[in-house]
Amino acid sequence: MRPKDLNTRIFLDGGDPDETKETLKLIGFVDGQTTNPSLIAKNPVARQRMERGEKFTRSEILSFYRDVVRELSTLIPKGSISVEVYADSSTTADDMIKQAQEMFAWIPNAHIKLPTTHEGLKAAEQAVQKGFRVNMTLCFTQEQAAAVYAATNGAKKGDVFVSPFIGRLDDKGENGMDLISNIIQMYKNGDGHVDVLTASVRTIDHHLYALKLVSDIVTSPFKIVKEWSASGLPVPGNDYIYDQKNLRPIVFKDLDLKKKWQDFDIRHELTDKGLAKFASDWNSLIKE
């Protein structure tokens, strides 16, 4: 059952509905789920098909993704299900909007994942004007989070998530959890229309520290949720100390949220690498 002192929504990060069912049995609740092309590629049904040497056509893989998402939606009808558009370095905002329009109609509780790139932010600006809910993914800097805020100005509370990827920053020797703390602090100067979704959770410490920081949402893989459950679903208090493991700190920047999103430097190598990885995983499922 949900801990009484839990003020962070718990999402499951994965593309396997069986894990969602197990999580619901294990802890009694799930507030949402995040999916992406890499997670769909790891879905057991997709893996079995690939092992048989049977790739999907483009229409088949979209139908498969839609069916997975629809099952997740029935399992978590009051939560949010994040569905990611296909995007590589050449995908335009118009391309993303076309995909978003189709995917948003799949289920009633979708957030459409768009990359935190120039074209992704351009698409996000249009998407919120059309009434779509969005989740801006592959965020690695405070500047990117500021640009998400500016691009989605006017959106309703709950309609916009920003997903900083902490694990991939840790891989570079930077303290990814500092980025979560910095974005939360920065957004306190705004109107609260963007929710911070702690993503790329690799360890139970990532999960627990996100709860201590009161990140709006944390999305964790099934193995981390199981570990949290096994320890009694603790919600850390002020006495909790996060082990930074000699990671380099990420310093807070005083950014002006009133600036236009185009005025922020949103470039980051990990965003480019993440975009390429998601596209590659998606393309690996499709027949030539």
Annotated active-site positions, please?
A: 113
* Rounded Cα distance, 173 and 124, in Å: 30
Helix ranges (H only) for the chain are 17-27, 37-41, 44-51, 58-75, 93-104, 118-129, 142-151, 166-171, 176-187, 204-213, 222-230, 269-283
Matching residue, tokens 């999907």:
56
Chain-centroid distance, C-alpha 269 = 18
Pairing between β-strand 9-13 and β-strand 217-220 as defined by DSSP bridges: parallel
Per residue, the 3-state secondary structure of 154-185, as one string, reads CCCCCCEEEEEEHHHHHHCCECHHHHHHHHHH
- CA-nearest of 138, 191, 128 to 163 is 138
Report the distance separating Cα 277 and Cα 256, nearest Å.
32
Q: How far is CA 223 from CA 195, 203, 207, 256, in A?
A: 24, 9, 11, 38
CA angle 116, 159, 187 (to 5 degrees): 65
* N residues, the chain: 288
E strand or H helix at 196, and its extent? strand 194-198
Q: Is 246 left (phi over 0), alpha (psi -120 to 50) or beta?
A: left
∠ Cα 271 275 279 (to 5°): 170
